[in-house]
């Protein structure tokens, strides 16, 4: 669905569903499909975050989303205003690897729960 339009483009939301029956690990399959889609979006100049930010689960794409300069600016501001990492403790930048190929860190807020399917 298209929810917002701008002079520079539009925000398009995609919904994806698939039949998980017979798939041994549907969560891994979904994560692989999502990863490929996000890589393709970024490779073609798109944004994966709109105005909400990348977030913890997708932080491996932070550098590709904001670039080295943007990431450096974010890290500098974070270090300046919160040198003890009290606010948003270890959410995105401090204490975690942000390499593009990094596996998302299992934070308490994004731990995979056993499926009840």
Q: Which string of DSSP letters, residue by residue, matches the chain?
A: -EEEEETTEEEE--------TT-S-HHHHHHHHHHHHHHHHHHTT--SSTTS---STTGGGHHHHHHHHHHHHHHHHHHHH-TT--TTTTSSSTTS---TTPPPP--TTSPPPPP--
Q: Both tokens of residue 91?
A: 């959410």
Identify whether 104 is part of a domain. Answer: no
Active-site residue, from 6, 13, 15, 80:
13
- pLDDT number for residue 114: 63
Domain-located, residue 50 = yes
pLDDT tier at 115, thresholds 50, 70, 90: low
**Does the reported pTM lie above 0.75?**
no
Domain count within the chain: 1
Give the model confidence (pLDDT) of 94-109 as tens digits.
Answer: 554 555 444 444 444 4
Residue 9: inside a domain: yes
- Residue 31 forms part of a structural domain: yes
Q: Is 30 a catalytic residue?
A: no
The predicted structure's pLDDT at residue 23: 93
- The answer to the question of residue 10 being in a domain is yes
Q: What are the pLDDT digits (tens) for 44-83? A: 988 887 777 788 888 889 998 888 999 999 999 989 998 8
Structural domain span for residue 32: 2-81
Per the DSSP assignment, residues forming a β-bridge with 2 are 12
Judge whether residue 25 has pLDDT over 90: yes
Counting beta carbons within 10 angstroms of the beta carbon of residue 61, is it exposed (0 to 12), middle (13 to 18) or buried (19 or more)?
Answer: buried
Asked if residue 100 belongs to a domain, the reply is no
In a domain, 71, yes or no: yes
pLDDT at 33 over 80: yes
Please check whether residue 92 lies inside any domain of the structure.
Answer: no
CA 9 to chain centre: 21
Measure CA 6 to chain center: 23
Whole-angstrom distance, CA of residue 92 vs CA of residue 95: 8
pLDDT in the model for residue 85: 84
């Amino acid at each position: 669905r298209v929810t917002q339009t701008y002079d520079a483009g539009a925000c398009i939301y995609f919904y994806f569903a698939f039949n998980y029956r017979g798939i041994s690990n549907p969560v891994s399959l979904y994560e692989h499909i999502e990863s490929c889609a996000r890589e393709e979006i970024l490779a073609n100049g798109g944004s994966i975050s709109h105005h909400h930010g990348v977030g913890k689960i997708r932080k491996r794409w932070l550098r590709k989303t904001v670039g080295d300069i943007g990431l450096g600016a974010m890290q500098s501001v974070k270090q300046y205003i919160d040198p003890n990492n009290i606010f948003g403790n270890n959410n995105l930048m401090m204490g975690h690897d942000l390499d593009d190929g990094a596996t998302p860190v299992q934070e308490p807020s994004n731990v995979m729960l056993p499926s009840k399917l």
